[in-house]
Each structure stands twice: as structure tokens, then as C-alpha cells.
Amino acid sequence: MSCFSSADESAHYGFSVCMLLQQYRDELGWAGQGVDELGTGDATAIADVVAGLPGLRVRSCDISAPSVEAARANIAARGVADRYTVELGDFFDRADSGDHPRVRTVIANPPYIPAPDRDILMPELWGGVYGNDLVLQLLKAGYTDVLTAVPSYSDPVATVTTAGDLGYRVVNFLAMALDFGPYSAEPKVREHVRRMCAEGRAWAGEDGYMVAVALFTADPDIPGDRAAQLLRALQVA
């Protein structure tokens, strides 16, 4: 199992998480509680966020031993190992165990490539048939605030609808256009995405797609309901 890396996506994800955490610092209360993270990857994006936001503490979990090893090295290199910790294991098993105090906010850039099965170039990037399996599972995990990537080709309508059914609103988001990389451009994946677009489950162009980093909240005291705006921002002709 290897570590996935995409400079453009990573930069957008890290910048968006930093902006949204900073903007909603008081409402999310992360300076006192910290945040949990589903999936660490190589940790570079969030390690830079932690370095830039004094007081932020992140407790992360990843199922990939090579990713955890790389993440810990990158975190140490940035001098934030005291505020950014990584565990090897299943995030949802840990969340359900009750062994750690529950914080209100979780961040995630989970695998989101849609495909009929996980027999793709990098199986670790498979997000289920429609690409949003882990995001839907995360929304059902009981966190008050979920800060996560929402790609245009991973059934975003179902993601936003499910979030609403679970009592979440889209408080705010940052969206960016990305080119298809080698994994999302794999013929098997591209053909599946085309079918999803035809079914109304995805938006994508010939060369790329949109991805947003959105803050969902179940806190009635945090204003904002930008679900419709988020879906419009993700639409690619």
C-alpha cells in the first residue's frame, strides 16, 4: 500500500480547512477541544494548517501503515508532533469505542473515486460505487461539525441530501476546479463517471471536475444554509 499525493488537491484541501477553521474558530471551539481527522494520508496539508494555527490540535487515524509512517515523519519535520498525532487503525472503530473523549469537529479528505469495484489503479482511493461511501458514513458518526471534501463526480446531491436528512446544514465551502489525475482518468473510472453524469449522480467535464471543501454543522446556533449554492458550484458542463 502506497501513499497518494496530489499537489493541487492537497493545497486546496489544506487552504480550505485552514480558512474555514479560522473563520469559525469560536463556533467550532477547536482551540479548546481540538479536532479529529479521518484518514491522514501523508499529513503534509494538515501539518501545515496546524503549524499556521497556533492552538489547533488534531488527532488523526489511518488504516495504512505506510501512510502513518510517512505522516509522522512529515509532522515531525514541521515541528508540530506535539499538536498533531496519528494512530494506525480504523477511524470508525475508534470513534465507536468510546476510548477517547468525543470532540465536536472532524475533518476529512477521504478516498472518493467512484467505480463499480475497487479493482482500480490505486484501490485505496476507491470511495465505493458512487464515491461517497466514507463521507456518508462520516456524516452518520455523530459529530456536530463535519469539514470534508465534496467532489462533483461522487454523487454530491446524495451527500448533501443525506446530510440534510441527518440534521446538517452547509455553513460554508470553498470550491476549486481540478484536472483529472492518473487515477481518476483511468478508463474504467472515466467511463463509470460518464454513466453517473448521465444518471444525474455526477458532474464532470472532459478534462476535469470540481471539488469543494464544505463545513456541515448540526449546531442550530451557527448560521448559514448554503447547500443549494454548494451544488451549483459543483456543476460542470
- Which pLDDT tens digit goes with each residue over 99-119? 667 899 999 999 999 999 999
Q: Is residue 1 part of a domain?
A: no
Q: What is the pLDDT of residue 99?
A: 67
Q: What is the mean pLDDT of residues 53-61?
A: 97
Between CA 87 and CA 40 the distance in angstroms is 9
**Which one is predicted more confidently, 35 or 2?**
35
* Per-residue pLDDT tens over the stretch 154-206: 999 999 999 999 999 999 999 999 999 999 999 999 999 999 999 999 999 99
Phi first, then psi: what are they for 185, rounded to 5°? Answer: -90, -5
Residue 35: all three cell numbers together: 479536532
pLDDT of 132 > 60? The answer is yes
Q: Residues 147-156, buried b or exposed e (16+ Cβ, 10 A)?
A: bbbbbbbbbb
Q: Is residue 204 part of a domain?
A: yes
Do 61 and 86 form a contact (C-beta atoms < 8 A)?
yes
Place of cell 471539488: 211
* pLDDT-based confidence at residue 94 (cuts at 50, 70, 90): confident
Total Cβ atoms within 10 A of residue 52:
13
Between CA 187 and CA 116 the distance in angstroms is 12
Q: What is the pLDDT of residue 64?
A: 93
What CATH number is associated with residue 129?
3.40.50.150
Q: Is residue 2 part of a domain?
A: no
> What is the number of structural domains in the chain?
1
Between CA 204 and CA 230 the distance in angstroms is 15
Q: What is the pLDDT of residue 1?
A: 40
Q: What is the pLDDT of residue 2?
A: 45
Q: Is residue 102 part of a domain?
A: yes
Region for 155 from its dihedrals, namely left if φ exceeds 0, alpha if ψ lies in -120 to 50, beta otherwise: left
Do 214 and 145 form a contact (C-beta atoms < 8 A)?
no
Q: What is the pLDDT of residue 185?
A: 95
**Domain with 156 in it:** 7-234
pLDDT of 58 > 70? The answer is yes
Q: Is residue 132 part of a domain?
A: yes
Between CA 158 and CA 210 the distance in angstroms is 16
Q: What is the mean pLDDT of residues 7-20?
A: 93
Q: What is the pLDDT of residue 98?
A: 66
Q: Is residue 35 part of a domain?
A: yes
Between CA 228 and CA 1 the distance in angstroms is 38
* pLDDT-based confidence at residue 6 (cuts at 50, 70, 90): low
